[in-house]
Structure 1
């Protein structure tokens, strides 16, 4: 927000809040052991997250309706860090919206992303691409231009009820209480600057985040939902 009260332009940070739908897929088996604070199935984890913001604002800028995708190549456990990562922001976002969102997901505006961004050793340049989020009868598909797609098909029991992971240790600090265990078959990532991979695990949930700082435990990871 620009404050003109004293005859000059001053950027006033009002804080931010984001609500939306989270879809992920990675190379681990179903369900990804990283969500249980265990080591990845095959020693490393390549993962793509889509955070489809349904409502939210950053310093008074409306950012509702914008999908943001975060892709990460992890050489080991999620909490061990040393990752290479890239953001992809929907190319339909205005310049003002882009400038509002990128610092949040790079961990520069507080909240849970100050913790999450800490696992990244190398940030690649943000890309702006068409991002579509399609919900079929059972399967959700997120397509990110020519870079790849995330597919999440819920695992169900004999009654057709979705399998849920309740309060997963890695995710509860990120406001996740109920996590839909899904299959990621069909997920493919092919960014030429990053490792190419195909998904096995997938999951779906919702998120509610704000610029309020999360509590942290002794290991420095978030320990309470924001």
Structure 2
């Protein structure tokens, strides 16, 4: 299926700053838990327009992501109409093909039923945040230099990255999930903000 989107991507997880998973290394604590959202600036699945919509996820992997066995919850903007909901589910579940979703789908052994919820996404640099209904909350802030106490800014550059190729690195002031099989809280760990451009077909 042919689809494309340009989106702001916000992500928080339980790894230390930069996230070793970005460099094909094991997760900081041996397992991975995280959340993410895409605010679609412009996008479509074939003739279905997705401009302005949000979608997101919360996930747990018992080991490194590529080793599989993960559990994921998929969240769809409640503003989406029936056709848009169907399109976003097809893309995010990997059914539509194309990176990053078809790659990530192979790492999940349990995919929870999609939920249609209010999604509040604020893209504002180190002050970015997102709230998914009453089940997910992430708030970013600049990393603080432990010596000078000044804000510390850094980027991750991944020329062959399949989720993003360049992202800012921030502190996640808040990162929690309370939804069905997923329940975690990982403040003061890694956060990313990126602009992504996905194409398939």
TM-score clears 0.5 = yes
**Shift in Å at residue 155 of structure 1?**
3.5
State the Cα deviation string for residues 11-39 of structure 1 (Å, max 9, x = none): xx5x1111101100011111211111111
TM alignment of 1:83-162, pairs within 5 A: 83-112=70-99, 113-136=101-124, 138-155=126-143, 162=153
Change (3 A) 1:196 1:137: closer
Q: Is the 8 A contact 2:58 2:182 kept in 1?
A: no
Cα offsets for 1:129-170 (capped at 9, x unmatched): 10011245741110001002122224478896731111176x
Contact 1:46–1:197 (CA under 8 A) maintained in structure 2: no
In the superposition, the TM-score normalised over structure 2's length comes to 0.89
Structure 1: give runs of 5+ residues left out of the alignment. Answer: 1-12, 213-226
How far, CA to CA, are the matches of 2:28 and 2:125 in structure 1?
Answer: 30
Distance 1:29 1:177 in 2: 19
TM-score (norm 1): 0.80
Residue 52 of structure 1 aligns with which residue? Answer: 39
Shift, 1:109, TM fit = 0.9
Alignment match, 2:177: 189
SS at match of 2:94: coil
**2:196 is aligned with 1:203:** no
SS in 1 for 2:15: coil
CA contact (8 A) 1:35 1:168 kept: no
* CA radius of gyration, larger in: 1
Alpha-carbon contact 1:156-1:163 (below 8 Å) kept? no
After TM superposition, the structure 1 stretch with the greater mean CA deviation from structure 2, 191-200 or 117-126, is 191-200
Q: Unaligned stretches of 5+ in structure 2? A: none
Number of paired residues? Answer: 196
Partner of 2:157: 166
For the aligned residue pairs, the C-alpha RMSD in angstroms reads 2.1
* Counterpart-to-counterpart distance in 2, 1:24 and 1:173: 14
- Whole-angstrom CA distance in 1 between matches of 2:48 and 2:8: 20
Q: Aligned partners of 2:92 and 2:62: how far apart in 1?
A: 21
Q: Does 1:35 align with 2:19?
A: no
Whole-angstrom distance in 1 between the partners of 2:141 and 2:32: 20
The structural deviation recorded for 1:52 is 1.1
Q: Which runs of 4+ in 1 moved over 6 A?
A: 156-161
1:21-61 deviations in whole A, cap 9, x for unaligned?
Answer: 11000111112111111111111110101111110011211
Bigger strand share:
2
Contact 2:8 2:123 in 1 (8 A): no
Instruction: Say if 2:59 and 2:73, in contact at 8 Å, map to a contact too.
Output: yes
